[in-house]
Each structure stands twice: as structure tokens, then as C-alpha cells.
Structure 1
């Protein structure tokens, strides 16, 4: 179901969701750390890098914030709601510090650069502020903060990819894992803060990505999600001893990972419509274990608004890309990001968005009304002139449209058989399994008398549905 408080349809990017780590050998460490993450999947992956760095310095993870010596919030600046949530949590931690003198509180990630002075000086909410490219300096910053000094490093890098750091899998189900393949973004969408908070685009060494995926598979993981602000622009070159360069494109990387094992599923996020190529689509079609699901943010269905957003494509161009995806992979599921109420948006622009949703037949969408972010091109160039009540009304219409499309999509799947990767028991019954199809659709089905466990693949026939879940039965 859609959570109207967060405008979230499904959990791929976990927008606004808190994320606390599990216990890591609690008796092996003298000090404990606690992390909550907000925003995109990249933030959650970054928290796993931070956990690895802290582990090497003698800190173990804990679920209980009240026993932590270090408390970190990995933050998001994409939407105002996330910032308000983080500020509220920091105020709560400030009270906790009074009860436990010596506890250090830090802010990581995208809010670090923009709000460092407020957090450190004006409001005195934190002791440590660390930007997304400075996590290697955390041990030194912690030492500095322990002396009573305010510790900060928000410098951005053109090289940092953390390729040599093996992430500690926080709150993992042991089945699915995030793998970061690149950092930063070169696109300058006018509404977005990412180029300013995460820096320029750089791709991680291909061999390190492939090796991480191999290690995960050998540990029993059966699904990896390759992460980047714009995965389709992944491009890594390396020179060998003869000074000849070898280039690896995203399609080539996908193929290499798919060849690790047919039992390892591959997902990726996020794709920019202007960069996803036929080479990528044909590679997806070639390998059954590359999931038939593409998150393809549209943001708006109006060419005029898309131009103001600096999305670099038109309505017609986007529709042609959807056509191409369906032509090469008729069974491919597509989801989107949608913003309502962007600067100057009128009713015709809004109707253009509704119509492109119907054209693309999105299975899922992340839907938000426009929230002006300080420092963005839109904030400098355009007036935020659509009244909030209009934004919310249009958002409600977009949500209603997506709910209907999701239900219709699931109804079309009734009677079909899908290969489902079992993730866990159903939340509602220990007599049922929950898993996902290649198309990222949630399935719930009876366990029956089969010898199965999380991480198993099983064929399931869909027999019924809601807009968010397919119900089925195992097919022998």
C-alpha cells in the first residue's frame, strides 16, 4: 500500500525509512555504534561502508541507541521531509547525550555539507559532520571529537569510490545486497541537490565490483542490486602494463556479473532515460538472471516542464524509449519517479503527466510534490509558484492513477507462472513465504510440503492480487 505520509509505493529506495544495524559479535568490541539511514539506496550502501571502517577501529554495531558510544544519522537532502525527520532525531539524541556523557553524535552524507554550520555551531546538535566522500577519515574525526573539539570533513573527491572496502551488511536478510558501482552525478537536473552533495561522477573499478558480487554469491546471497545515481553512464577504463586501456561499459559489467552464476540475480538502479542503451537492453534480454525491471524516472510528462527541469529529453523521446524497452523485453516491468507541482506547472502539464503514466503502464512509482531545495538551479532560476494545496491535489490524482495501474498490472498476471526468489516468511503468517519475481513484484504463497528456505527459487502461479501483492501457489 502507498504510505501517504511518505508518498512511497514500494521500498526499493526506502525514502524516509530509518535503518538500524544488527549486532556484530557484540562481545568482541569495547565500543558500540548505531546508524540510521534516510533516503536513497546509495545512503544505505554507504552506511555499510561506514560500518566496515568503524569495525576495524574496534566499534561493534548495536540496535540499541541507548548503549551506543557513537550515533550516526546518514542523511538525505532530496526532500524537505527527510531533513525535518533528521532534525527531530538529532534533538532526541541531544537529550540522550545528557543522560550518557561522552556519547558522540554525527551526521553523515548529503546534508553534511549544506547544514554543517547549523548543526555544529548554531544548534549544537552534533559533534561530527562527515560528507559522503570523507568516510575514510572517520577514525581521526572520532578521536578529535573525543577531545571535545567539533570534527568536520565535507570535502568532495573526484576519485573516491571505496572500491577496496568490503561493506558490512547491515540488517541484511542474507539474500539481497547492495553493490555500489559508481558515485556522484554529472547531470544537472534543476530540482536536484545530488551533484552538489555527492560531487562529480566517477566509476568504480570493474574487477572490484565483480569480485564483490562473487564473494556475496559464495556467502549465500542470491541477489545483488547495482547502485549509482546514473548506472547507465558507468564507464571504467584501466591501463595495463603496455599502457593500453581497457574500457568497461555498463552493459559489459552487467554481462560479467550475470556470468558468475545463473543463480545470482542482478538488479540495478537508477537509470537515466537519456543514457540507457540498446546494448544494455539486449544484455538484459540475453540473461534470465538479469531481472526484467527498470526504474526509469520520468519526473514529468510535459516537455515544457522537462526542459525547465533540464532532463534533456522530451515527452515523445521518453515514450519512444518505453516502446523500445517493451519491444526488446515484452515482460519487462517499468517504474518511475514523478514530481507534481514543479515551478509554473499548469493543468495541461499535469494532465500530460497523467497521460504518460497511462502510456508507460508503470507497475510502481515514487510520487512527490515539488519541494524546493536550497542551492539548486531551480531555486536560483524559478519561483516556486504552484500553491501547496494545488501540488497536493495533483499528487493525489497521480497517486490514484498509479494505484489503478498497479492493480491492473497485477490482475494481468493472474494465471501466469513466475520464478520467485524466496526472501522470508510472510509477515502475516509463518505458514507462507514472501518473495519477488524478476519484475520486482511481491508474491505471498503457502509453504506447502516443500523443502524450501529463504534464498530458494520456486515457480509460483499467481491466483489473486491486491494493488501491491500477488498471491499464488507453488507449481511442481
Structure 2
């Protein structure tokens, strides 16, 4: 393991547990009841997994969890910094909480996560949102009991955005997951890639992998608890194990969890194309519990733009990966991310991106207009592209992908697919949601007793966003 990376020690865990006990006694005694806590999560699946750890710590501190901010004694916003829009949503919601704070002056408002790891955000919170009592970054997540105790003891504003970029590995914290079929399982933290547009390495630190033994043990617990669709999470899962001195890479980790007894599916995200190997794709094909679906962010179809983004692969290399994956897994489904309007992008660059999505025919795309992030290399680049042009490109990309998604879904009409029923929908005729191995959304008939069960569904209707089926 990288010598700079450290595990949470037993002493640190015990120290934070002592603070949890003190918070429990002090807070419940002051309120004469159990405190209520609301956690609002913004951004990616890694943030969702972090919020599960946060909820676990709150329960350990004696809190009752609620979804209603108005009845909460603590409202904690776990934030995302990857795009300006996400930050504006957070600031808007923090502003709206001022009314709740006036109604309940004892309410504690806290901001944590990726935004809180940035000094510029902390400065803005200090200046414009004085009623925010607690701010802590990604590196201080495990110290939340200690920080909350300081607030309860009377410190008006508690901030902790310090931390070593090498980071820590969060073992020993018990997450509180939502009941259901699906679960997130973090296998690593941080990122070493420094794509020129991306803030993640700056706010989440360097890559650090959990041991395969820890991952397998948690996976086994999830299976025992009844979860059937388990996603392995990392900013770049393909580089898992690079800091483990050869003990285990991601392909071997997939083999290990695939060997766990039980009836479940394995997914993972996200993958970086430069680290996606034929060996990994062969392993996916061979492991029967690993879903034949890959989220493989391409970001652009232009080599010139990819180089400016510091992605370290070409469009041809990306297409070669897709071709090989389809050779060994004929039914594999691809999803991806694409940024339009990167500084210096031209119409020719954009047309190359359109050509790539036509060739790959992604199941779906997450599409974004470039958003400069302070502290990244791309933020220093001149950006001569008019906003109207970026919006036109975005609309053209969206229209092309919507057509592809609709055509791909219409090609499923009359076929029978194997699905895992995982929730309820808003459609009265098709009240249940389900997913195929390839992550296609299928709305099906039936009642809630089917949730958590596998079924075969005949596809009777298709739209851009979903398939509709009758359970056979």
C-alpha cells in the first residue's frame, strides 16, 4: 500500500466513538428527545455512499433520520463541486434554509463534501451565510462527531477543510443504507488522473484502494442482508489496486466477488478508458454475475480536444475497446459522459463527437456543457466559444442520442428480457421498475411483492427512456 495513505486507526475510531457518545448525551438531554437529522445529497454515487456513512454516524450519535428539513434539528448538505450548476443549487438551498433557521434558531445547518473542501466556497459561506454552523471537507468526514460536539458545546462556526491529499481509507464506519435491492460499495477513494477540466483530484485527494479482504467482507455482508444489485464504486475503478503493491487489481477483485455464493448482480463505475484493459473485459465476459454493462466516459470524439482534456487516449483507441468488448460480450451495453463546449472546441471537433456516438450507439449519455472549475488547468484556457454555440451543440448532441436510444429500445420490441424488479414507478399501467443485466430500464406490470425478484418480461412498448413489458 502507498506509504502516504493511512488507514483509520483503532484509536481514531474509538476517539470519534467517544465523541458520538458525548453528542448523544448532550443533544438528547438538551432537547429532551432524540434529535432529528436530515441529510441532503448532491452529485455522484460516491457522494451517495459517503452520505450512507454520514447517516451511520448520525444514528450512532442517537439521531433519528428524517427526509423533512423543516422538522430536522440538523440539516446536512453533502455537496458536489464538479459543475457550477451543482454549486448554485447548493447555495440556493442553503439560502432557503435561512427561513427554517429563523423558525428554529437551534437548528444546526452543516455543509460538507466536495464543495466544502474548497477555500473559495468556505469564504463565501463565511461571508454570505453566517447561520451555517458546521463546514467540513471530504478529508474530515470521519471527524464529524468531534466537529458536531464542538458546535453543541457553543462554538458558533466550526470549519475543517484541512487534510492530507494522500487521504485516509475509511474502514470501521458502519453505513446506514436505504432498504431495497441496490447497494453502493466503495472500493477506493480519490483520483490521480488530473483531467484538465476536473476538480475531483483536488477535493478528494489521491487514489487509495481498500484491501480486497475488506471489499469482499463488506460485499458478503450486503449479500447476507439481501441486496441483489451491488455496484463497486470509485472515481476510476480500473486503477484499483495500483497502490496495493501488486496484491490485487480490479480484474482480480471482480473474480473474487463473483466467487461469493448467492444470487446477485455485480456492477461498477466509473471506468477510465486509458486503464480499461482487454484482460478486464475478458474477466467481465467470464464472470457470470458481473453485468455486461460499462459506463466508460469518452468526453469527446476529437483527438485534439481529448489531448487538451489530458485524457490520454484517442478516439480510435476508445473505439477499439468498444469493438473488443462487443466481440467477447455481444450483448454488452455502453453508457458514457460527454462534455461540449470545451475551451477551443470547434465545429469540426463537435462533428467528430457526433460521429463517435453514431458508431458506438450508447444506451444513454450524460451530456454537459463545459463548466470551468477554479484550480483546474482548463480554467486558465481562453474560451472563445459563444454560449449560444455551446447550447446549439448540446441540443444537437441530445437530439442525436435521444434518437439512438429510441431506435435501440424499439429494436427490443417483442423480445423477452431477464430483469431484476427493483422499485415502483409512477406509471399506473406499469407500476414496477426493473433493470436488465445491461442496465436497460424496464417498467413492468405487477405488485410490490415482486420487488427483489427476478422475472422474464416480454417487451410490448418502447420509448426513448424506457422499455415496457409484461411479466411472463
- TM-score, with structure 1 as normaliser: 0.88
Look up the SS of the partner of 1:216 in the other structure: helix
- What does the per-residue CA deviation read over 1:315-356, in whole Å, with 9 as the maximum and x for residues that have no partner? 111111111111111100001101111101111001001000
Task: Tell me if the contact between 1:262 and 1:289 (Cα under 8 Å) persists in the aligned partners.
Answer: no
Which residue is equivalent to 2:337?
337
Normalized per residue, the structure richer in helix is 2
Which residue is equivalent to 2:401?
402
Shift of 1:145: 1.9
Aligned runs of 1:53-68 on 2, under 5 Å?
53-68=57-72
Aligned runs of 1:108-257 on 2, under 5 Å?
108-114=112-118, 115-146=121-152, 147-157=154-164, 158-169=166-177, 172-235=178-241, 247-257=247-257
Shift of 1:445: 2.1
Look up the SS of the partner of 2:247 in the other structure: strand
| Distance in 2 between residues matched to 1:357 and 1:431, nearest whole Å | 31
Aligned runs of 1:19-418 on 2, under 5 Å?
30-114=34-118, 115-146=121-152, 147-157=154-164, 158-169=166-177, 172-235=178-241, 247-380=247-380, 382-418=381-417
Report whether the alignment pairs 1:466 with 2:463. yes
Shift of 1:237: 6.7
Look up the SS of the partner of 1:413 in the other structure: coil
For structure 1, which segment, 409-418 or 346-355, has the greater mean C-alpha deviation from structure 2 after superposition?
A: 409-418
| Distance in 2 between residues matched to 1:49 and 1:252, nearest whole Å | 26
Look up the SS of the partner of 2:163 in the other structure: coil
Look up the SS of the partner of 2:411 in the other structure: helix
Shift of 1:164: 1.9
In structure 2, stretches of 5+ residues that fail to align are 1-27
Task: Tell me if the contact between 2:188 and 2:210 (Cα under 8 Å) persists in the aligned partners.
Answer: yes
> How many residues of Structure 1 are paired with residues of Structure 2 in the alignment?
439
Task: Tell me if the contact between 2:409 and 2:467 (Cα under 8 Å) persists in the aligned partners.
Answer: yes
- What does the per-residue CA deviation read over 1:293-324, in whole Å, with 9 as the maximum and x for residues that have no partner? 10011111100000000000111111111111
Report whether the alignment pairs 1:441 with 2:429. no
Look up the SS of the partner of 1:325 in the other structure: helix
| Distance in 2 between residues matched to 1:91 and 1:125, nearest whole Å | 10
Q: 1:237 to 1:391 in 2, by over 3 A?
A: closer
Shift of 1:32: 1.4
CA RMSD of aligned residues (A): 2.0
| Distance in 2 between residues matched to 1:178 and 1:443, nearest whole Å | 21
| Distance in 2 between residues matched to 1:190 and 1:237, nearest whole Å | 23
Task: Tell me if the contact between 2:302 and 2:353 (Cα under 8 Å) persists in the aligned partners.
Answer: yes
Runs ≥4 in structure 1, deviation > 6 angstroms? none
- TM-score, with structure 2 as normaliser: 0.89
